[in-house]
Each structure stands twice: as structure tokens, then as C-alpha cells.
Structure 1
Amino acid sequence: MSDHEQLKISIIGTGRVATHLALHLHQQNQKIQYIFNRSVEKAQVLADQVHATAIDDLAQINDTDILLICVSDSAITQISEKLSQINYQGLVAHTSGSTALSVLSNLGRNAGVFYPLQTFSFEQKIDWQSTPIFIEAKSVDALHKLEIFAENFSSKIYQYNSEQRLSLHLAAVFACNFSNYCYDIAQQILDEKQVDVDLLQPLIDATAEKLKRARAVENQTGPAVRHDQQILAMHQLMLTNHTEWQTIYQLMSQGIQARTPKN
């Protein structure tokens, strides 16, 4: 496969990751051959958008350069086993951040990982050029193919092993998923008092912007880092009717104080 050859790609799954990958590859004039889903009707919805063939039988996949497994982490092993049973010989890569390459060990040396470190939702466009892509493979040849493939998405391509990738996934849960849940709590607090939640947006933007210039621990502000016990107690009292939020507030405040001891 030369660096400028059009790739032939098939995708297992029709969720958010599969959809974004398929749509972007289609825009890059790459050939999407097959979209697989246990429900061929669901596969057809995505296949129609990228001029692919919808299938519900993995044995139908043939003559594909790269087969992407874009399913839940718990289903990757099952898919790998089915591909092994049909003696699939092409390059297979899963897209999980928290699943080791070893789950594809039954597929031999033609197996790898293609992990975009990004948050995916159906309604939100992805800035692929700013998205880091992490690749890993069982062989040098497979790694080279994945690197060429990744260039369709981003110039930020990294060769990380499974342990490193797992640390990224865990860190991403804190940085993205947990922080978003904190935004959810914040919005609910304001909704209860009929306060406009958009008032928080400049603060959220400024907090994210500061991370470009300094480490998070250096940017920490608020009553916990000041060890302001009066404000901390008042906030916790305000959360009396929301014990879950109160516990989160206490744990986070304690963590901040442990990270930034009082002078």
C-alpha cells in the first residue's frame, strides 16, 4: 500500500465513533466498503451516507485494507473471536482507549489499535487536525499501514503502547467526563434558583484557556486552595438537600487542599 493509494476500509459498528470516522473518511475520498451491524437496518443508515454496503455477517467482508472495530469495549473480544473463526486475514484495529492490543492476539500479527483522543457526539463536529491519534500494532508492517491511515485525520500521530494509552483514557475521564458532570451539577444548581447558566461560560472558557499556559495545579483557585473554612462550610450547608453533590464537594475540596497545602 503506497502512501497515496486510496484505502479500502470497512467499519464494524454504527455508533458515534464509527459514524464520525466513516463520514470523515468519505470526505477524504477514501473508499468505505462495508458497514457492519447486527441489525442490517442500522448499518444501512450509515452506509447510505458514505456509499458503502450494509452487512450483518462478518464473513461478507473481503478485500479490505483496514477493518475498524468501533464497538463497546466489552464487545471487542467477541468480535475478535468471530473474525478469528472466519479466518479473517486483513489488518484489524480497534478504536478503544482502555482496551489492550492483546485482546486481538488471536488475529496474529495483523492487528492494531487506532485510538483518537476525542469526545464524540452525533451532533458535534470534530476538529480532526487538533485531535491526537494513538496507534499500536503487532507488526512493523501493520504499524506503518496505521500511520498512513492516521494521516487522513491528523498530523498529531503517536505510537503509544497499551499501558500508556490506558493512562490517557483514565486521565481523559477525569478531564472530560468528570468535568462535564461537574458542569451538569453547576447547571442544576443555577436552574433551581432560576439563574442563567450561560453566565458560567466565560469562566469555563477562561479555565480551559489557562491550561494552555500552565499546569492545572498552578491555576487552582477558589475557597479550598485558600483554606477558607467559612466559605467551605457555607457551600456544604447549601448542598444539604443534595447529599451526593455534598460528598463530591467535600472530596474535591479535600483533594485540592492536599495538593495545595496552606502556607
Structure 2
Amino acid sequence: MRYAPEADIVFIHIPKNAGQSVRNAMARATAISYAPLAKDLGISEAEAEVAVEKGMDVPKLGMIHPAHLPLWLLKERFPASWRILRDAQSFALVRAVRPRFLSAVMQRLREFRDTGPIRSDDPVVREEAARVCEWLATQARPVALEYVHFIPQSHFIDMDGRRIVNAIFPTDRMDAVADWLDEAGLHIEITHDHARRQPKPWARPIQPIARFAGRYLMPHAIKRALHPIWARSGAFADAAGGYAQVDLGSDVEDFIASYYASDQKMFEESLAGIDRKSASE
């Protein structure tokens, strides 16, 4: 989560939901406090600011990501952060479940399978999606670092059947987020600056060559520096537009619909809330 003490606002950063755009906009507009997390971890605030971007080892849970803590974990292991959340105004972004799941699979392949940039219709995506579903089927409350992007959105917003976060917005309505924040006393301008990119169909044949060069010929630092330049080139396009055509197989599709059913209802609720507000204006 991100806490802006001057406005007393908490942003619950749900992974794969355009959270970096909001986080960056908040950081440009106001000071972000890491004091609650520092108190929970027993470290300095400067150390907490670094730790929030990395994994950390928690007894009995293993490696987790402190930027993306579900509510039950906040309450059980991070009491100072939990108190801030309960007392402040809070908001989160929500997303339709299927494109979020696909985006999470793509990021998992890049981060933990070292595939480099690939298209969402690559067969390896379907294979990895099935493996992820097998793992998730055994997890009632997933928090493992390698699967952080698959944590249900509802775990960040509701707890024990009650709504904890004050406001939710669909990821494509940053204008509504900015309006809500403005009313709450925080004036920011949000730009969506973290859309995932994938190779265009004509560029697919060059991907094995690029992948080989990235893995075996380039130092890691150079590879990281070149990646954003390569992804913004004419060989790439925004990935989300092609997700609807990706065939994940009936078993995976059924699992997504079942496992994330509450998330989908929450997303539809966010859309309905936007429609009601628009109708009343």
C-alpha cells in the first residue's frame, strides 16, 4: 500500500491493475510515508522504502512482496500499516479477471521463466497458465512472491465478508480516480505509463534471436537498460488488445471464472458505480 499522510489517503496497490501509474502520480504530488511499514518491520523508514520494492522473507509464509499485501496479512503481521488503513480514506483499482490473469502470466514468464518479450498467443503462455492454475487450486490465501500477481483482487479490498477499502475504480477510469482524490484533498494528474507491450506478428521470427542475445551475450545491466527501448520500438504493440483472441483451453477458462468469481463481481460493481455517478451529474 502507499500512504499519503498530508491527505490521509491510502492507495491499495493491487498487482497488474495499473497501480504503478497511480503510485507514480501520488509520489509526484505529495510525500509518501513508509513509517508504518518501517515500524512493522523494525527498520528505518529509508530501509522500508527500499524493502517495499523487493521481496522479503516472512516466517511461515516464505518470500512475499511488501508492496502487495492482502488485507488478512496486513491485519495479522503488519499492525501499524493495518491501523493506518482502517483510519484513513482508501481506494484501489480493479480489473476484469481474464485480462488481468493473462497479463500476470506474461509477467511471470518474463520474470521467472526468462522468456523475454513474447506474444500472448505463444503456446508457452497456455502451458504456463495451466501450471499456475494447478498451483492456485491448492491455495486459499496465496501470497508467495512468484505468484503475487495472481492474488485475488478481493483479498485486497474485502475481508471476512466486509468491505474495508472505501472506493474502487476500474483501471480505465483514471479520470474518476483523480476526481475522487481531488474531493479527498489530493490533487494529482494520472497518466497510464506502464502498459505491457508484446511483439507484433511480423516480428515473431526475430524473437528467438533477441532472446538468445539477451540471455547469453549481454551483461544483465545492459539487457535491463535496452529492454524499454526495444519494447517501445516499431516491432511492438500494446499487449492487452490481443488478449481476447488467446485460447487458454476450457479447463483454464473454467478455473479463472470460478476462482476469480468474486473479483469479476467487484469489477462489475466498480463499473456500475461509475455509471451511477455519471447519471447523477
TM over 0.5: no
**TM-score of the superposed pair, with normalisation by structure 2:** 0.30
Q: Which has the larger radius of gyration?
A: 1
Which has a greater percent of helix?
2
**TM-score of the superposed pair, with normalisation by structure 1:** 0.32
